[in-house]
Amino acid sequence: MRAILLAVICIVSINALAESEYRDSEGFNQEENLMVRQAKGEYEYCVNEYAMSQLENQADPRVVADHSMKHCAPVLETLYTKLVENNFSPDFGKKFVSGISNRTANKLLSNLMMYMATQQR
């Protein structure tokens, strides 16, 4: 019984230690802030450029947005990797990158729908 209790205490201690090794998600330094802004800008540019190239071939803005996001996903994958390398938790990295992706997708869909509506007139 004591061995089981000791094993549980060790596992909990190791997990707590591992979690404490990650940096606070609020604390980007200047270099990291620049890295994030550049990756976000590169992703938005890539998504918009690819979407524009697909408009002639596809009439559904959701399909255009989906293909554009998949085409440009490596930009966000690289950002995620850099965040984890800079000692941010993987969960933070996933949530952060997902937020960029979601905001970009919403803006892209809105812009595509407005563009397509003006083209139908």
Distance CA 24, CA 20 (A): 9
Provide mean pLDDT across the span 58-85. Answer: 95
- The vertex-93 CA angle with 89 and 95, nearest 5°, equals 115
How much is the pLDDT for 21?
Answer: 78
How much is the pLDDT for 9?
Answer: 53
In the chain, domain spans: 2-120
Hunting for tokens 């697909």 — which residue is that? 54
Do the beta carbons of residue 93 and residue 80 sit within 8 Å? yes
Is the confidence at residue 104, as pLDDT, over 50?
A: yes
Average model confidence (pLDDT) for the chain? 84
Taking Cα atoms as reference points, which of 92, 98, 106, 112 lies closest to residue 32?
A: 92
Question: 0.95 cut: is pTM over it?
Answer: no
Query: Which phi and psi (to 5°) does residue 86 adopt?
Result: -85, 15
Is the confidence at residue 109, as pLDDT, over 70?
A: yes
Identify the band that residue 1 occupies on the pLDDT scale cut at 50, 70 and 90.
Answer: low
| Close Cβ partners of 35 (under 8 Å, ≥ 6 residues apart) | 79, 82
